[in-house]
């Protein structure tokens, strides 16, 4: 078996005048990988039927998604909180669009059984299996026995008092995955483990604010690895998150967004006040990316294999420009270290133990390798 490599990025939705332009700068990097995964964060359809429970409606015309395979994507996860914004028809259109390009999909289906079904690809004789789940989604987006939707991983939220003898002490919000869903997660991973050589598990989870990791993210991540996952990929936050190496396996808690065209979207009312500067609202000079400047830092997660064995992993730091291109730093660009330092810092702030190598060169691009501390 030969050496091969795998890349993963965060949220992808194309909605611009020239959709073929969306991966300017990053296509040169993505095409160097044998296998590329991304989170399809929204529907591609020309006939949206908006879900009543949809909040911010995230969708795009089908023509905008025609270049995803050309950009390098082989597998896309669709288990996320926007995939049914345009209704069941929008989901069906998105699946048809991706499949027509040869892109495999995971995390949704015409019914619950399909939504939980893994997708398997083969590279140089190595079978790679993918599962995808969402813990963040509007009511009704979850697949049911005979209803389309996403593979849900449910979570209990409750308020716990820290001091019953001192009224007024702020309570703590606890987030605990449904025990039966954790057991299901483990069984699906263990079953997939018997059929493939490498297992990748994608989770749409967490809160939209910087740095912070919820309790349930850690529980689901560790359960995934304990059941046999080789790689765990997280997204939803729209900010990068720290990386943990657990039982020798990498957990990328948040890949951020990669190319996420969302002009005209704005938080109002309570959310705007609560989130402050980190809320979603128009940003001067960034018409397609109404997010805090920290959200312009992103990465391409990278995994190198010798046959069935993962030799190393790390990431290529990127910065999103005013045209909403995720631009990987070229080797020698000193700004690359700033992104590496940011990810290292937010890793430390949530008490994850990972060593971040200094910026190095790989295939002409700036690269950071990771080690277990």
Mean pLDDT value across residues 239-262: 97
DSSP 349-362: HTT--EEEPPPEEE
CATH topology of domain 3-372: Purple Acid Phosphatase; chain A, domain 2 (3.60.21)
Give residue-wise pLDDT tens across range 194-232.
999 999 999 999 998 899 999 999 999 999 999 999 999
Q: What is the pLDDT of residues 352-373, one digit of tens each?
A: 999 999 999 999 999 999 999 8
Query: Which residues, in sequence order, are CB contacts of 22 under 8 Å at separation 6+?
Result: 14, 16, 67, 71, 259, 261, 324, 325
Quick: pLDDT tens for 44-100.
Answer: 999 999 888 877 789 999 999 999 999 999 999 999 999 999 999 999 999 999 999
| CA atoms in the 13 A half-sphere facing the CB of 252 | 29
Residue 155 token pair: 């979570």
Would you state the structure tokens that stand for residue 172, as one six-digit string?
Answer: 């703590």
CB atoms inside a 10 Å sphere around CB 13 = 23
| Long-range contacts, stretch 96-100, CB < 8 angstroms, 24+ apart | 97/44, 97/62, 97/65, 97/66, 98/40, 98/65, 98/68
Ramachandran bin of 287, using left for φ above 0, alpha for ψ from -120 to 50, beta for the remaining angles: alpha
Most confident of 109-123, 150-164, 263-277: 109-123
Question: What is the value of pTM for the model shown?
Answer: 0.96
Rounded-to-integer distance, Cα 13 and Cα 76, Å:
12
Give the Cβ contact number of residue 191 at 10 Å.
Answer: 14
pLDDT digits (tens, 9 = 90+) for 99-114: 999 999 999 999 999 9
Tokens 């997708």 correspond to 119
**Residue 284 pLDDT:** 94
Residue 221 main-chain phi, psi, to 5 deg: -65, -50
- Predicted local confidence at residue 165, as pLDDT: 64
């Amino acid at each position: 078996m030969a050496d091969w490599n795998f890349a993963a990025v965060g949220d992808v939705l194309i909605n611009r005048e020239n959709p073929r332009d969306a991966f300017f700068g990053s296509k040169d990097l993505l095409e160097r990988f044998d296998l590329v995964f991304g989170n399809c964060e929204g529907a591609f359809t020309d006939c949206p039927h908006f879900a009543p429970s949809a909040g911010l409606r995230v969708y795009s015309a089908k023509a905008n998604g025609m270049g995803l395979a050309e950009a390098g994507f082989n597998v896309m996860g669709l288990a996320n909180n926007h995939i049914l914004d345009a209704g069941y028809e929008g989901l069906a259109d998105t699946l048809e669009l991706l499949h027509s390009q040869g892109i495999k999909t995971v995390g949704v289906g015409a019914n619950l059984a399909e939504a939980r079904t893994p997708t398997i690809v083969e590279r140089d004789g190595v079978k790679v299996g993918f599962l995808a789940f969402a813990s963040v989604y509007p009511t009704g987006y979850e697949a049911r026995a005979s209803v389309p939707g996403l593979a849900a991983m449910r979570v209990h939220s409750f308020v716990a008092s820290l001091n019953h003898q001192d009224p007024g002490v702020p309570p703590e919000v606890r987030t605990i995955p449904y025990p039966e869903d954790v057991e299901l997660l483990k069984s699906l991973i263990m079953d997939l483990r018997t059929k493939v050589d490498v297992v990748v598990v994608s989770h749409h989870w967490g809160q939209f604010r910087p740095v912070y990791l919820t309790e349930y993210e850690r529980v689901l991540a560790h359960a995934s690895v304990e059941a046999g996952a080789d790689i765990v990929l997280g997204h939803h936050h729209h900010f990068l998150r720290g990386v943990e190496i657990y039982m020798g396996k990498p957990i990328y808690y948040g890949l951020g967004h990669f190319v996420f065209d969302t002009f005209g979207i704005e938080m109002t009312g309570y959310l705007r006040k609560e989130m402050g500067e980190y809320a979603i609202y128009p940003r001067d000079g960034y018409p397609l990316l109404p997010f805090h400047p920290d959200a312009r830092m992103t990465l391409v997660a990278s995994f190198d294999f010798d046959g069935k064995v993962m030799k190393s992993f790390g990431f290529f730091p990127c910065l999103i420009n005013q045209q909403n291109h995720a631009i990987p730093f070229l080797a020698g660009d000193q700004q690359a270290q700033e992104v590496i330092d940011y990810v290292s810092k937010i890793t430390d702030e949530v008490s994850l133990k990972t060593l971040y190598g200094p910026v190095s060169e790989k295939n002409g691009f700036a690269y950071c390798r990771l080690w277990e501390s």
